Structure 1
Amino acid sequence: MKINTFFAVPAVLLAAQFSWAQGPVNSKEKLNPVIENFVNEINRSSQLEDMAHELLDGIGPRLVGTPEMLAANNWTADKLRSWGVEANLQQFGTWKGWQRGITHVDMVYPRVKSLSATQLAWSPATKRAIEAEVVVLPKAASKAEFDQWLPSVKGKIVLMAQYQKIGRSDEQIKEFATPELYEKLRAQKEQDSKDFRDYVKNIGYDNNTLPEALEKAGAAGIAISNWTGIMGANRIFGAKTSKIPMIDIDVEDYGMLFRMAEKGSKPKIKVEAQSTVLPDAKTFNTVGIIKGKEKPNEYVVLSAHLDSWDGAQGATDNGTGVLTMLETMRILKKYYPNNKRTIVVGLWGSEEQGLNGSRGFVADNPEIMKGVQAVFNQDNGTGRVVNISGQGFVHAYDYIGRWLNGVPKNVRDQIKTDFPGMPGGGGSDHASFVAAGVPGFSLSSLNWGYFGYTWHTTKDTYDKIVFDEVKNNVILTASLAYMASEDPEFTNREKREMPLDDKGQVTKWPEVKQPRRDSRDFK
């Protein structure tokens, strides 16, 4: 059967249509005894908080190529082994080695103030503290005008990001402003963003080439402010320089420096950004396996990426996904000793640079890919799972429905489903499997402000985790893994008929992409 339209089905309705799973769908449901053990264990003896402390407070952020990432690989493998799960590190490539040191930035003229700033990932270090005047980009209308100005940056620190006139969140402005003022400020913010984009385009550069040009012209450093729009939260990505430090300054301090420089006060800042360039580092996935007792060559895969950016602790991206999958493996090993299919947990490396770990696993394990029953991936914050898509597989409705029927009602009722859905082309690791035609499903969470507040920001810390929500997701994942393992049928992989795009062309199933196995392949 070919399907070329979407349809959405609440999970509770799906559950009512399948009878082989245990437990009626009502408030007094009798759970399958194995799943009931899962629920009791997670509610009474959860190890989530202790593991979160060890991973997030102890090891911290897990940037690919850093010693902390390797420490996290070893910690997760050791944790799995402590529960009797076979675990190992599987190398998929190498990355440039680097380790963060301290960042300290002070304004020293026209007055003294310590600034809130962070060096970007892989930023070159300052051999000694740099003290330099801060300047802003010129009001140039063309590349020729800008290039004429460029030599003046020698020995100075350049503010390269857009100036934010108002450092308040949209939510707060909307709460307190009159409707007329809100619309005025919103329109002005949109116009300012457009003007800055047009400015960068008109001077002939982009976010990658502009830092290179400033560095080549002799700038002492570059400062940006990648503000999220929420007070206190900036996003931290990678530096675009090879010799001079590149730092991010919180919106409040950045705005102060910008106004001073623009008004002619010639502010000076002192920057100490310590970091260490290390030899190229091997990059690994942590893989744990509980061998199947009846169908060892068929697999249920639990998936989450272990790496993170390093502006904070990587708590909700993706510490919570890792904790979910580890705790799921712990209780599966404890309460499901006779698993029919092999259960695999993959904690992937270098997801943040393009799903490299999971793509490497798909490419390197073709025999496993043939036998995958399902992949369950979690990677969007601390919230309870509220959506599961069929990812474009025609018959996903059938087997996802059977499996959801075994999930406790209070967990199941939170979830909306859409079938057949569209195949994920990226965004998280389930897409690596979907592209290869393997049923990979994203367990999509309620965002709890994820994209605005914690995603890749300086605020992605332990205290943002809501552990009751993570417990909910462990119960869901363990139940789905159990049901998928027990299912008498192997999942059907027939793909949907793809719809037309805006131009009337048939959209294509995502192509299989090879992982970047070396940092030099990354642009």
Structure 2
Amino acid sequence: MKTTNTLLHFLGAKNITKLLVIPALFAAGTASAQTKDPVVDNIVKEETENSQLVPLAQQLFDGIGPRLVGTPQMEKAGQWALEKYKGWGITARYEKWGDWRGWERGVSHIDMVTPRVKSLEGTQLAWSPGMKKAVTAETIILPEFADSIAFQKWLPAVKGKFVMISMLQPTGRPDYNWTEFATKESFDKMKADRTAQTDAWRKRISNTGLTARTLPSALEKAGAAGVITSNWSAGFGVDKIFGAYTKKTPTVDIALEDYGMLYRLTESGSKPTIKIQTESKELGAVPTFNIVGEIKGTEKPDEYVMLSAHFDSWDGGQGATDNGTGTLTMMEAMRILKKVYPNPKRTILVGHWGSEEQGLNGSRAFVEDHPEIVANLQVLFNQDNGTGRVVNISGQGFLNSYDYIGRWLSKVPANIREQITTNFPGAPGGGGSDFASFVAVGAPGFSLSSNSWSYGNYTWHTNRDTYDKVVFDDVKNNAMLTAILVYMACEDPAKTSRDKAVLGINPRTGEQNKWPAQTKANRHGGFE
């Protein structure tokens, strides 16, 4: 385990003496790691010899698929998780905390019909309205405008057309490909051109007087046949797939390669026409929920150690690495703990959160609804940034986190522990994933942050977030790590400290950083 010493930045002078404790602490931790612990050994043995991750992944990713909030697949996944926990002898419950706009994706066909026939790679965005029949229409590119008045004068021209509102990318190759093969001069030129084009396109959007969020609605009201985007994720064959802002006409994302072809044909005056048929169903308000599993504590049942991962996903792919792998890490850790550590001293809980993708809503609702658990939370461990093995744990601004996390990590096998960099006390996370919902109210929540595996470009919210991107050896690593940390947190005779570090000065404002404020859950979403 590597330790990054950032305490001087965050602590006041009266706390500087605590720095001296850290080297001795981890030296002692390394020595103690040599002491055999039968529970730790059994955790490693169970995951090594009897891992259930592969069948769980196949059932969840291939069988059920993505878990967009408000869809039947999310509901089906919740029932699947309850049955899995029941089969393992673990008590689990379905906690409804609100409702969401229900929607079900149907069949999509996107084809260019002139100047030649070609099926296009594309995806209707989440919550895109369904079509009663296929529509064939010409494509038109959002032009440049001097101002919003010019835009309003042009707006009638969209009637009956498919409007393209994303810029033409200058390259479909990721930067690492350019780094490997291009001359420096060529790469620099491409980057300069791309920056100029990006800035110009942003100005093109802003000159309409609208934003990327409000523009599709204006086009829809003006009679556009549909809206076409291409939200490239800077990798080969990969786009981000989010939600639609239209209510009556379809919004589809077309892959960079096909979008570029359409754009160039349209720009050159070839007047291509495309045929779109996208089916979907509106399901009204449907329940949105968390799945909460529990292994009751024997000595301190009213103190809690939590495992945490969001259950929902976007639905361009299968939601495999965001956050299927985090979900399976926590399920597998719970299965192992029930088998090898069935009588924990503290109560073990697992939270599978709904609607994280729309603003951490499930975990925020849990924090609001269960103050008694939050007040007695020993620790929470959350995993949510891809399939990679855990390589970083930050103290999230808790002054003494180096103490208890350091002690618990000392029991982790060296081949896992030595890959992890720690950063104490770190800074409190204000968002990004569900641990932040707990940090905001001063409860010790920590992110088990993973190695990248090109997560940001290739699988985070993309059409390529699928089973085949899972690296099972790394997920096994994370299941073992999580189970051991939970075991150690349950056994620790001391209750964790919630003392906060003195936060540093923000160099942009010159003011002291503040602890993140609690944000309320959106309990009735998707109807805006």
Output the TM-score relative to the length of structure 2.
0.95
Tell me which amino acid in the other structure corresponds to 2:9: T
Q: What residue number does 1:353 align with?
A: 358
Tell me which amino acid in the other structure corresponds to 2:119: S
Q: What residue number does 1:438 align with?
A: 443
Q: What residue number does 1:78 align with?
A: 83
Query: Cα deviations across residues 253-293 of structure 1 (Å, max 9, x unaligned)?
Result: 10111111111111100001000000211001000000000
With 425-434 and 76-85 compared, the bigger mean Cα shift is at 76-85
CA contact (8 A) 2:139 2:266 kept: yes
CA contact (8 A) 2:94 2:292 kept: yes
Tell me which amino acid in the other structure corresponds to 1:465: V
Q: What residue number does 1:5 align with?
A: 9
Tell me whether 1:508 sits opposite 2:514 in the alignment: yes
Q: What residue number does 1:17 align with?
A: 28
Cα displacement (A) at 1:203: 2.2
Tell me whether 1:225 sits opposite 2:236 in the alignment: no
Cα displacement (A) at 1:342: 0.1
CA contact (8 A) 1:24 1:30 kept: yes
Query: Cα deviations across residues 219-271 of structure 1 (Å, max 9, x unaligned)?
Result: 00000000011010000000010100000000011011111111111110000
What does 1:144-163 correspond to in 2, within 5 Å?
144-163=149-168
CA contact (8 A) 2:170 2:190 kept: no
Cα distance in 1 for partners of 2:84, 2:356 equals 21
Tell me which amino acid in the other structure corresponds to 1:118: T
CA contact (8 A) 2:103 2:280 kept: yes
Cα distance in 2 for partners of 1:287, 1:137 equals 47
Q: What residue number does 1:121 align with?
A: 126
Query: Cα deviations across residues 360-402 of structure 1 (Å, max 9, x unaligned)?
Result: 0000000011110000000000000000000000010110011
Cα distance in 2 for partners of 1:72, 1:416 equals 34
Q: Unaligned stretches of 5+ in structure 2? A: 1-6, 12-18
CA contact (8 A) 2:143 2:204 kept: no
Cα displacement (A) at 1:30: 4.4
Tell me which amino acid in the other structure corresponds to 2:511: Q
CA contact (8 A) 2:10 2:504 kept: no
Cα displacement (A) at 1:88: 0.7
Cα displacement (A) at 1:190: 1.2
CA contact (8 A) 1:31 1:408 kept: no
What does 1:14-93 correspond to in 2, within 5 Å?
14-18=25-29, 24-25=32-33, 29-93=34-98
What does 1:248-397 correspond to in 2, within 5 Å?
248-397=253-402
Q: What residue number does 1:195 align with?
A: 200
Identity of aligned residues (%): 56
Tell me which amino acid in the other structure corresponds to 1:228: S
Which contiguous aligned blocks of 4+ residues in structure 1 show a shift greater than 4 angstroms? 6-9, 11-14
Cα distance in 2 for partners of 1:46, 1:381 equals 19
SS at match of 2:242: coil
Cα displacement (A) at 1:445: 0.2
SS at match of 2:9: coil
Query: Cα deviations across residues 150-186 of structure 1 (Å, max 9, x unaligned)?
Result: 1011011000111112111111112111111111111
Cα distance in 2 for partners of 1:110, 1:191 equals 31
Tell me which amino acid in the other structure corresponds to 2:302: N
With 138-147 and 260-269 compared, the bigger mean Cα shift is at 138-147
CA contact (8 A) 1:498 1:506 kept: yes
Tell me which amino acid in the other structure corresponds to 1:82: G
CA contact (8 A) 2:70 2:286 kept: yes
CA contact (8 A) 1:6 1:418 kept: no
